[in-house]
């Protein structure tokens, strides 16, 4: 049986954009007869907000989601918190290192800006030959000074690379070039934390995730994930990269800006059925918002039908959910 998932990072309260993506992922899994997995991506310890782990889950339940596997319900792929899965990331790193494709990198962010050779990939400068050469130039001196280093994985390039391709329900076939788009990617950071790209591919595979619904801000980062899946012999799920919800000013909602949080709406007494209807209307899945029951939400929240030029969270939607 296939599996879908939602994977919140508990770095703060979920905003309406996170809620809409979660709703789409859950409804898709339910409609396609997949199991639905909730995975808490609390891998970035310093940025994890303690109350957010329980808070995020409680608010998603309030919105109407339920999951078959997750930190609070267990399941055959437990544990479901990344902070408890680091031995898997270590094993994956060892497998990559055994294949000779991991190296220590002593270059700081500033060094990288200075070296920054063409080309630039979709996620910024790509770590290529010039960076490798600069790293070798400074290596001995920085090793001697016990400078901090991160670990990078260098995917095979050229003929050895194979195609880095994924199938996306909304974007079609997306192809990445290992050299131009990916380069050598961080798998363990200089501060000792595991990189998101490594953790996400290890966990999606270990949890049997066959389809990933997530925000389209992560599409560009998928090239690195594909390269890691190839190197580790892991399957590539099908993806559905969904548009992000914009606020009334036309900006992407962001946790760091605060506002529009599920926590605040719940505390204000918002009716989750009205919120579901408004979120679907914002995605172009309903012409006008109306209160939606859970079953109706599952039937209507089809990410494959998403309107790419959806409407922002405007004053009319905000007032539709505002309690009397």
Contact set with ligand GLU (CB under 6 A): 7-9, 41, 200, 214, 218
Strands 164-168 and 3-6: unpaired
Q: Which is nearer to ligand GLU, 17 or 64 (CB)?
A: 17
Look up residue 256 and give its DSSP letter.
G
Q: Which is nearer to ligand GLU, 186 or 286 (CB)?
A: 186
Residue 9 CA to residue 12 CA, distance in Å, equals 8
Determine the length of the chain. 324
Residue 85 CA to residue 91 CA, distance in Å, equals 10
Beta carbons of 198 and 156 less than 8 angstroms apart: no
3-class secondary structure, 154: coil
Q: Which is nearer to ligand GLU, 7 or 195 (CB)?
A: 7
Q: Which is nearer to ligand GLU, 41 or 134 (CB)?
A: 41
We find the least distance from the C-beta atom of residue 301 to ligand GLU, in angstroms, to be 17
We find the least distance from the C-beta atom of residue 11 to ligand GLU, in angstroms, to be 8
Beta carbons of 170 and 20 less than 8 angstroms apart: no
Look up residue 260 and give its DSSP letter.
S
Q: How many CB atoms lie within 10 A of CB 15?
A: 24
298 part of the active site: no
Residue with smallest beta-carbon separation from ligand GLU? 214
We find the least distance from the C-beta atom of residue 218 to ligand GLU, in angstroms, to be 6
Catalytic one among 39, 230, 255, 263? 255
Beta carbons of 105 and 152 less than 8 angstroms apart: yes
Q: Which is nearer to ligand GLU, 29 or 273 (CB)?
A: 29
Q: Which is nearer to ligand GLU, 40 or 298 (CB)?
A: 40
Beta carbons of 241 and 214 less than 8 angstroms apart: yes
We find the least distance from the C-beta atom of residue 6 to ligand GLU, in angstroms, to be 7
We find the least distance from the C-beta atom of residue 305 to ligand GLU, in angstroms, to be 21
We find the least distance from the C-beta atom of residue 123 to ligand GLU, in angstroms, to be 14
Spell 289-302 as b/e; 16+ CB within 10 A means b.
Answer: beebebebbbebbb
Per DSSP, the residues of 263-307 read HHHHHTT--HHHHHHHHHHHTTSSSS-----HHHHHHH--GGG--
User: The tokens of 16 are what?
Assistant: 């309406």
Q: Catalytic positions, please?
A: 255
């Amino acid at each position: 049986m296939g599996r879908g998932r939602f994977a919140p990072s508990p770095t703060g309260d979920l905003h309406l954009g996170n809620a809409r993506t979660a709703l789409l992922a859950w409804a898709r899994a339910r409609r396609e007869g997949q199991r639905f997995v909730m995975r808490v991506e609390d891998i970035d310890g310093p940025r994890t907000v303690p109350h957010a782990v329980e808070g995020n889950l409680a608010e998603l339940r309030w919105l109407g989601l339920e999951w078959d596997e997750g930190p609070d319900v267990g399941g055959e792929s437990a544990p479901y918190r990344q902070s408890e899965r680091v031995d898997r990331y270590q094993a994956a790193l060892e497998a990559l290192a055994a294949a000779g494709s991991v190296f220590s990198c002593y270059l700081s962010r500033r060094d990288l800006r200075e070296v920054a050779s063409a080309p630039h990939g979709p996620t910024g400068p790509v770590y290529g030959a010039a960076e490798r050469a600069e790293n070798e130039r400074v290596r001995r001196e920085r090793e001697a000074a016990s400078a901090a280093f991160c670990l990078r994985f260098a995917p095979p390039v050229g003929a050895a690379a194979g195609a880095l391709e994924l199938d996306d329900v909304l974007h079609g076939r997306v192809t990445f070039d290992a050299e131009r788009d990916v380069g050598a990617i961080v798998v363990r950071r200089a501060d000792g934390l595991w990189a998101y790209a490594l953790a996400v591919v290890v966990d999606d595979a270990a949890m049997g995730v066959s389809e990933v619904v997530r925000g389209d801000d992560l599409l560009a980062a998928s090239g690195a994930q594909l390269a890691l899946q190839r190197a580790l012999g892991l399957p590539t799920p099908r993806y559905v990269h969904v548009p992000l919800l914009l606020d009334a000013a036309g900006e992407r909602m962001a946790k760091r800006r605060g506002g529009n949080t599920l926590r605040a709406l719940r505390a204000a007494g918002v009716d989750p059925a009205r919120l579901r209807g408004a979120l679907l209307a914002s995605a172009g899945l309903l012409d006008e918002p109306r209160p939606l029951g859970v079953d109706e939400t599952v039937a209507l929240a089809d990410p494959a039908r998403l309107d790419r030029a959806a409407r922002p969270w405007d004053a009319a939607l905000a007032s539709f959910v505002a309690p009397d």
